[in-house]
Amino acid sequence: MMRKHEKIIAAGLALIMGSTVLLPSRSVRADGSTPGTVNDERVYCIGSVSKVYVTTAVMQLADKGLVDIDAPITDYIPNFRMADPRYTGITVRMLMNHTSGIMGTQFANMELYNDNSMVSNDEFIAAFASQRLKADPGEYACYCNNGFELLRIIVENVSGMSYTEYVDKYISGNLGVSHTGTPFNMFGREDAVPVFNGKLPSEYEYCMAPGSGGIYATASDVAEFGSTFWNGDNRLLYESAKDAMATRWTDSDSEYLDGAGLGWDFVEELSYQKQGVKVVGKGGDVGTMHASLLVAPDNEISVCVLSSGGSSMYNQFVAEALMDVALGEQGIAIEHETCMDVNTVDMIPDEFRQYEGYYCMSSMTGSGIADIRFSDDKMTVVNQGLSSKTTSVYKYTDAGGFVEVDDNGYIKPNQVVVFFEEGADGKVYVKGEQMDTLPGVGSYVRKSYFGERLEKTSVTADAINAWKARSQNAWVLTSDIYSSATYDMPLMRIKVSDTVPGYAVFGMSAGSRVVKITDEDDITFFQTLPSSSNRDLVEGHVNADGTLTFSLGSTYRPVDTLPEFTSDIHTVELKSNEATWFYIGDEMEYSTIIAGRPENSAIYVYNKYFEIMYSSHIIGSSEKIDLPEDGYIVFLGEDGTTVSIT
C-alpha cells in the first residue's frame, strides 16, 4: 500500500570484526559482499521489538471484542497464580505497559544456540506460583519481559491458534511479508544473518520467548510493520488501538518515570516533540543480535536498524540519524536533547546531610551499594560493586541537584546530574539523568530513578555469616539445557556487604542485583524504585544439596564442590537439565583431549577467570580440546547419551 510522501527506511547492519557497514534496505553478507535487492536481506532476531508485535496481536483481538484490555489476566489465563494476593488485580493493559508489578524475566533456557526447544506454557505459568509482586499492579512502570510472554499466552488462548500461526496469518499475512515469524517457522533459514561470539562465527541464536523477544524478520519487514502505525493505515489496527498504544502509561509530567506506552519503550521522544513531531520507538537485544524501530506516524516515516553485534543503543543512534534525514526532506530540523545546563555552587546547604547513608544503586556509578556523604562543597559517592570500588565526586548546582566532576572540579563530558527525592514511609530516592555518547554517531540521555537508601535489617549474625561463607566461592550455572547461551557467561558471584549488615550484591549473566539477606538460606528483593532501574529482581533459596535456585528459574553450584577432571575419565554421562562440571587440576592442565559427543550436546572450556577458551557452539570447533591451567570444563546434553574422551 503506497501513499504520497511515505518513506520506509530499512537498514540491515552487520557489525563484523569491528567493521560497520550501513546499507539502507539491504544487508551485508559474512564475506563482506553486499546483496543487490531487498529480497537478499538477512533475517535477524529483533529482540524486544517483538513486544510491539504481541501487543499488536492483543489489540487486534481487542478490536474484535475478544479481549478487554482492562480485564484481569485471569479471565484469559485461568490457571495463573502467584504467591501474592495482589496478582488478581493485574490487567491485560498492565502487561502491555509494564505496570503489572511482576518481578521480571524467567531467563532459564530463554536464548538457545541452533535449537528451538521451548518451555511449555504450563511450565512457564507454574513458575509464577512461588513469586510475589514488587509493587501494586498499576503503581509504576518497570520493564518486564514476563508480562509479554503472558500476552503471547493470552493470544493463543483466545485465538485458539499457536502464536506462530497467529503472527503468520494476522500480521505477516495482512502485511504481505514473507520474512517474519517466530523460532518455529523461521528455524534454520539460509538467509539468517551470520552471528559471532566475539570475533568467532557462532551457531545461530534463537530467543525462545516469542512474545517478549523472539520475532525474526528482515529490516524491511520490520519497517513495513512500523508503517502500519501511520495515520489512516488500518492493515493491522484501527486508529483507536494505535492511539492507545502511543499513549504514555501515566499522566504525570515527571521525566524520571518510564515513558512506556503499550508495547513501545517511549511514546514522547523530547528532541522530536520540541519540533512538533511525535516519534514512538522500541529497542531490542539478544546476545548476538540487536534492533531499533522508530516510527513518526504523522510524518509517515518508519525506520528500522538491525545488527549482528553492537547494541540496540547504537542502532537507535543510527535510526535517529536516518529519521532526521527523512524529516529534513520535509523541512524539519531536529536538534537532539543534551544534558541540562548546570551551574555549580560552592556551598552545599546543610539540609542535604539528612540524605547521607548507604544506597542501593542501579545506575549512575554502577550497580552496587553506595556510601553517600557530604562536605561543605562536595558530595562523595563510594560505590562497592561485586569486585570493584569506585569513588565519584559531585558539585552542588543552582538547580538543587548535583553534577559529577573530575579530579580538577570540571563537569565530566558524559554528564551525570542527580537529585534527591523523599518518597512514602521515609524512603529516599536518587533520581537524575546521565548521558552516554558514541563519538561520531550520537548521544543518549537517560532519565530515571537510580538509587534507594537502604534501611536497617533485623537479620541475625548467623545468617550473615552463612552467606559470607558462600561468598568465598564462585558459583556456576547447572540447570540450563545444552543449547543455552547462558553458558557463555555461567558464573555467579556474591559480595556480602561489610558496612551495611544484611545486604549483598549478586552478579550473574543478567547483571548485578542488590538483595536483602532474610535468613541462613534465603535472599529477597526489597527495592521500591519506581522505574526500570527496578527490573528483573531476584529471590533465592539454598537447597538441601547446597545448590542455589533463583526465583526466575536458574540453579547454581559452588565451584569448590566440582570434581576434578582426571586422565582416567573416558566417558561422561549427560543429563537433560543438569550440567556436568569438572575442575581442571594439575594432572590435566595444558593437556589435549579428543571428545566425541552426540548431536544434541555441547562442551565449554573456561580459564580460571571463566573466560571461554573453547565452545562447541563456535562454527568449525574441533574435537581436539586444549585444557588450560586452573580452568573448568562442562559437558551438556540429554539423558541417556554420553561423551567419549580420549
Question: 145-159 and 50-63 are packed helices; what angle lies between their axes, rounded to 10 degrees?
Answer: 40
pLDDT tens, position by position, 348-404? 999 999 999 999 998 644 579 999 999 999 999 999 988 888 999 999 999 999 999
Indicate if the pLDDT at residue 525 is higher than 50.
yes
Q: Is 562 helix (H, G, I), strand (E, B) or coil?
A: coil
Could you list the beta-strand ranges (E) of 312-464.
344-345, 357-362, 367-374, 379-384, 389-397, 402-405, 416-422, 428-438, 442-453
Confidence of residue 4 (pLDDT cuts 50, 70, 90): very low
Please report the beta strands in 510-589, taking only residues with DSSP state E, as ranges in sequence order.
511-519, 522-524, 540-542, 548-550, 555-558, 571-573, 580-583
- 134 is written with which cell numbers? 514488587
For residue 25, the model assigns a pLDDT of: 37
**Rounded average pLDDT over 498-506:** 95
Dihedrals phi, psi of 482, to nearest 5 degrees: -60, -30
What value does the mean pLDDT take over residues 68-84? 97
pLDDT digits (tens, 9 = 90+) for 282-327: 999 999 999 999 999 999 999 999 999 989 999 999 999 999 999 9
Name the average pLDDT for the chain: 91
| Structure-block grid coordinates of residue 271 | 528532541
- C-alpha cell of residue 386: 561485586
CA distance 101 to 94: 9
Which grid coordinates are listed for 28?
551485508
Which residues on neighbouring strands pair with residue 207, listed in sequence order?
A: 111
Cross-strand bridge partners of residue 411: 405
Tens-digit pLDDT profile for residues 416-458: 999 999 998 889 999 999 887 777 777 778 899 999 999 999 9
| pLDDT surpasses 90 at 611 | yes
Alpha-carbon distances, residue 579 vs 203, 254, 465, 600, 602 (angstroms): 20, 47, 29, 13, 10
- Give pLDDT tens digits for 122-177: 999 999 999 999 999 999 999 999 999 999 999 999 999 999 999 999 999 999 99
CATH class of residue range 7-329:
alpha beta
Predicted pLDDT of residue 344:
94
The CATH class of the 562-645 domain is mainly beta
Q: How many CB atoms lie within 10 A of CB 409?
A: 11
The whole-number pLDDT of residue 444 equals 79
Lowest-pLDDT range of 41-50, 406-415, 466-475, 590-599 = 406-415
Strand order in the sheet with 289-296: 19-24, 7-16, 301-308, 289-296, 280-285
Q: What burial class does residue 253 get, using C-beta atoms within 10 Å of its C-beta: 0-12 exposed, 13-18 middle, 19+ buried? A: exposed
pLDDT tier at 250, thresholds 50, 70, 90: very high
Q: What is the pLDDT of residue 36?
A: 41
pLDDT of residue 365: 46
pLDDT tier for residue 23 given thresholds of 50, 70 and 90: very low
pLDDT band at 13 (very low <50, low <70, confident <90, very high): very low
For the cut 50, the answer to whether the pLDDT of residue 17 exceeds it is no
Q: How far is CA 257 from CA 141, 429, 511, in A?
A: 7, 13, 22
> Which residue, chain included where needed, has cell 531487498?
38
Check residue 9 and give its pLDDT. 61
CATH 1.10.10.10 describes domain 344-453:
no
Phi, psi of 164 (to 5 degrees): -60, -45
Tell me if 255 sits within 8 A of 447, measured CB to CB. yes
* CA 493/CA 510 separation, integer angstroms: 12
Q: Looking at residue 441, what is its pLDDT? A: 73
Measure the CA–CA gap between 247 and 97, rounded to whole angstroms: 10
- DSSP per-residue string spanning 81-129: --SSGGGGG-BHHHHHTT-S-------TT-EEES------HHHHHHGGG
* Long-range contact pairs involving 351-358 (C-beta distance under 8 Å, separation at least 24): 352/379, 352/396, 352/420, 355/420, 355/428, 355/453, 357/428, 357/453, 357/454, 358/453, 358/454, 358/499, 358/500
pLDDT of residue 18: 24
pLDDT for residue 508 is more than 80: yes
Mean pLDDT, range 74-79, rounded to an integer: 98
The per-residue pLDDT for range 554-575, each reduced to its tens digit, is 999 999 999 999 999 999 999 9
User: Mind listing the pLDDT tens digit for each residue in 36-68?
Assistant: 444 578 999 999 999 999 999 999 999 999 999
Q: With bands split at pLDDT 50, 70 and 90, how would you rate the model's confidence at 542?
A: very high
Residue pair 263/212 in contact (Cβ under 8 Å)? The answer is: no
Q: What is the pLDDT of residue 34?
A: 41
Q: Are 528 and 534 in contact (CB under 8 A)?
A: yes
The CB-side HSE value for 320 (13 A sphere, CA atoms) comes to 24
Q: What is the three-state SS of 370-389? A: EEEEECCCCEEEEEECCCCE
* Cα separation, 170 vs 158, whole angstroms: 14
What percent of the chain has pLDDT above 70?
93
- In one letter, which amino acid is 479? S
